[in-house]
Structure 1
Amino acid sequence: MITTVAKSQQELVTARTPGHGMHGALFGRQDIFDSDVDIFFTRHWILVGVTADIPEPGDVSTIDIGKSSIILVRDDDEQVQAFRNVCRHRGARLKQAGKSTVGMLVCPYHQWTYDLDGSLKHAAHMGKDFDPTCKSLTRVHTKVVGTHVFVCLGDQPPEDIAYLEQTMAPRLAPYNLTYSKIAYEAEIIEDGNWKLVIENNRECYHCSATHPELTASFLPEDFGFCAEGLSEESLQALDEYEERNAAAKRSWERDGFICDAVEHLDTDAVTQFRTQRLVIAGNGESQTLDTRVACTRLFGDLTRRDLGDVHLWTHNSWTHVMSDHAVISYIIPLAPDKTLVRTKWLVHADAIEGVDYDIEKLTEVWKATNQQDANLVAITHSGTQDPGYSPGPFSAFTESYVDQFSRWYAARLAAQGV
């Protein structure tokens, strides 16, 4: 009898041909999925929500990530706290996944009661020698950047989250996103591995053929292109594109808005991110079908509508911030072939639906785009599990960030001894 020994995760990663896709087993195997959750969603910083999820003291948002569960809560001092969703008595879950409002956190099993700062306030029948100060809820490392709530479930959170904060805080400051509200939120469970979801987000090779709503507000040259063999007309369009970008950058920087790209993506990065202010096509205001603002009540004290798109990538999220609204998506892996994509549309906290904004106009671009992406991820995951799948080459012009993500993934596994 001939037996085949399954290759380890590291063997599969190191066998990747440079400039080509990953081995199909890296998307489909349960043991590799479990390893990914442990490394990339426990030991790394991940986005799990926005401050508007818990706008008032006592507001709670509970998020399940693999076997772990965390509670985000706004405490009485209006600070964002994060705790393990585990009672310090016998381990019962305090809250089910989702949002709620509480006065205190009460365990449904034996009614151990915790204050919003995590301290144990009541535990009946424990005797006079019991010390409640030793049984506060277990804190989770938390970092709020603008409105983004990042957590790390590991004991030693990567220190380079400070670089992300240093980079993004001044870019997001003019928008005052902490004074925003969730106008709409949606979830999609995509039938594909989390890495395929991120790979799909890292390139726009597919955009012109599959995202008609999104491409209304994108300049086509931003998708990446091969300049070889371009016609004179196309070369002239490229010159016009570059001049438009340069003019927009001069205008924004003159008004104090940061524009330059920052990439913390390579193999020496731990907390991977990229940001840049991108020009919006058409009327230049927002990611809408008519490229005008969807909300007339702009963020913060902004008066300019044409501030482009401040985008932010991390290894589990993507963000687009315009003058009038923000679209923030993050992923949670559920199974080798299932990934939860959660998206929130934010507007100014004082904006009034039906007066300042229309929900359909606000959401139609990214609701359509997310569903289109889900379809693409599903057919790609299915194909990578076919015995006939052989990883093909990336386009150096339009898929360089996908190749880079593959390199980063391999480096992070190696750093963890996998």
Structure 2
Amino acid sequence: MNHTTSTAELISQRKPGYSLPRDLYCGQDALRDDLEQIWYREWVFAIPACEIPKSGNFATLQLGEYPVIIVRGSDGRVRAFHNVCRHRGQRLCSKASGSNPKLVCPYHQWTYDLDGKLLYARDMGEGFDASKHGLKPVHCVDIGGMIFVCVAKVPPAINDLAQNLMRYAAPSGLADAKVAFSQTIVEKGNWKLVMENNRECYHCGGSHPSLCRTYSDDPQMTVMEGPNAASSEILQHWDRCDAANLPSRFVNAPDMQWRMARVPLMDNAESFTMSTRAAVAMRMGTIPWNDAGSLMFYHFPSSWNHFLPDHAIVFRILPISPMETEVTTKWLVHKDAVEGKDYDLQKLTEVWLATNDEDRQVVEENQAGVLSPAYEPGPYSPNQEAGVIHLVDWYCGLMASRLGLQTAAE
């Protein structure tokens, strides 16, 4: 039995409305299939565009086996390439970010323009054709200030997501932002456990005292099941936003791969801070009030995000191993905001730094329990964990289709 058949059988055996079989959270074969069928074929959130604002700025990421570099060219366009020299395979850039007028391989100094063309390769002989040895491109799009990449030869359609995200994120002015702070941690848990934990607040009251000062753990307040389940408070909030031409109402992909909705924070809170007031004096974009709440946007498999009037927080996950996941968080503020004057970095970051560490502990304990031979899939709460059900149904449906099962999971 090969690894693909094994993963397919596990998915076909799973019980709808229940957590996944153990090996889908722990197994090397399952991770290999996840990478091949999802991570290498879907659009993955990479960086906020404001992280590389100038020509020559670059950022890198490791997507499974693929090292990728994202760079802003001299024409202002953002491009992505496989971070692999066309000579003998050396990584061109080993740093997470930086700036260079050209991309120069540190091994033998092969030099590439910012558009991927090979400019210089020493002593390669008369028959050498530099035009055939440019960097291999990676599909790359800038959607409303968020850069997505896809390493597939033919990426899936992204028009529906792009149209909605550009409309919903436009008032946040992400193109006029900057990265105020970045954190990367490694959680010792499968990527699906990391994402499952994010898709519910069933655990928030017991795990996130700082976050719960402003963010409600009432599932009706996070509209997990769509507008028909939304509270009257959210409906009133949406009416207020409509009057200000601020896109806010629940919108999602048919298979729930992505979703957007702007929801109010508790008791007219302005931001994710201990004081509940705005963390940044200089408001982002064109959002008309400090208490406009958070535009929540997630996209499977890689990201969840909060866009607030005073700042934005973008999150990216990348699988490292069957039971290790890299989680990167970036706090964005207006590009002209000055630290120490317009914002205090500790006040800006302390709530989500604490929340990230609390989530890390939850995920790692979850993984430790799932590893037990005594583990068996348990039922999700239809009310509290509707978002987790969306994730697991999306995952099982997509994997079933791509692994050749007759019908996708219900």
Match of 1:405 among 383, 391, 396: 391
Compared CA separation, residues 327 and 377, structure 1 to 2 (3 A): same
- Write the deviation string for residues 32-72 of structure 1: whole angstroms up to 9, x where unpaired: 11221222211111111111221211111111122110111
Aligned amino acid, residue 380 of structure 2: F
Residue 166 of structure 2 is aligned to residue 169 of structure 1:
yes
Equivalence for 1:186: 183
Residue 326 of structure 2 is aligned to residue 340 of structure 1:
yes
Equivalence for 2:106: 108
CA–CA distance in 1 between the matches of 2:286 and 2:394?
38
- Write the deviation string for residues 374-416 of structure 1: whole angstroms up to 9, x where unpaired: 1110011111110111111110111122122212111111222
Shift of 1:208: 1.2
- Write the deviation string for residues 210-236 of structure 1: whole angstroms up to 9, x where unpaired: 1111111123434679xxxxxxxxxxx
- Write the deviation string for residues 128-149 of structure 1: whole angstroms up to 9, x where unpaired: 3322122111110011112211
Match of 1:365 among 351, 355, 376: 351
Residue pair 2:204, 2:217 contacting (<8 A) in 1 also: no
What is the number of equivalent residue pairs in this alignment?
Answer: 394
CA RMSD of aligned residues (A): 1.8
Residue 288 of structure 2 is aligned to residue 291 of structure 1:
no
- Write the deviation string for residues 146-176 of structure 1: whole angstroms up to 9, x where unpaired: 22110000111001x1111111101111221
CA–CA distance in 2 between the matches of 1:243 and 1:337?
41
Residue pair 2:283, 2:310 contacting (<8 A) in 1 also: yes
Shift of 1:112: 1.1
Residue 228 of structure 2 is aligned to residue 245 of structure 1:
no
Equivalence for 1:15: 13
CA–CA distance in 2 between the matches of 1:199 and 1:391?
14
Residue pair 2:190, 2:323 contacting (<8 A) in 1 also: yes
Aligned amino acid, residue 252 of structure 2: E
CA–CA distance in 1 between the matches of 2:203 and 2:286?
37
- The SS at the match of 1:212 is coil
Shift of 1:275: 0.7
Residue pair 1:265, 1:408 contacting (<8 A) in 2 also: no
Aligned amino acid, residue 296 of structure 2: H
- The SS at the match of 1:8 is helix
Residue pair 1:186, 1:344 contacting (<8 A) in 2 also: yes
Compared CA separation, residues 305 and 320, structure 1 to 2 (3 A): same
Aligned amino acid, residue 359 of structure 2: D
Shift of 1:245: 2.2
Identity %: 39
Shift of 1:341: 0.3
Residue pair 2:296, 2:306 contacting (<8 A) in 1 also: yes
Residue pair 1:204, 1:224 contacting (<8 A) in 2 also: no
- Write the deviation string for residues 180-217 of structure 1: whole angstroms up to 9, x where unpaired: 11111111110100000001111111111111111111
- Write the deviation string for residues 269-303 of structure 1: whole angstroms up to 9, x where unpaired: 6xx21110011112332122222110010112444
Q: Which has the larger radius of gyration?
A: 1
Equivalence for 1:321: 307
Describe how 1:59-208 pairs up with structure 2 within 5 A: 59-159=57-157, 161-208=158-205
Give the TM-score normalised by the residue count of structure 2.
Answer: 0.92
Describe how 1:249-328 pairs up with structure 2 within 5 A: 249-264=238-253, 266=255, 272-315=257-300, 316-328=302-314
CA–CA distance in 2 between the matches of 1:222 and 1:21?
19
Aligned amino acid, residue 35 of structure 2: V
Equivalence for 2:407: none
CA–CA distance in 2 between the matches of 1:245 and 1:103?
48
- Write the deviation string for residues 339-363 of structure 1: whole angstroms up to 9, x where unpaired: 0000000000000001100111111
Describe how 1:46-57 pairs up with structure 2 within 5 A: 46-57=44-55
Compared CA separation, residues 41 and 6, structure 1 to 2 (3 A): closer
Shift of 1:249: 1.6
Q: Which runs of 5+ in 2 are unaligned?
A: 223-229, 405-410
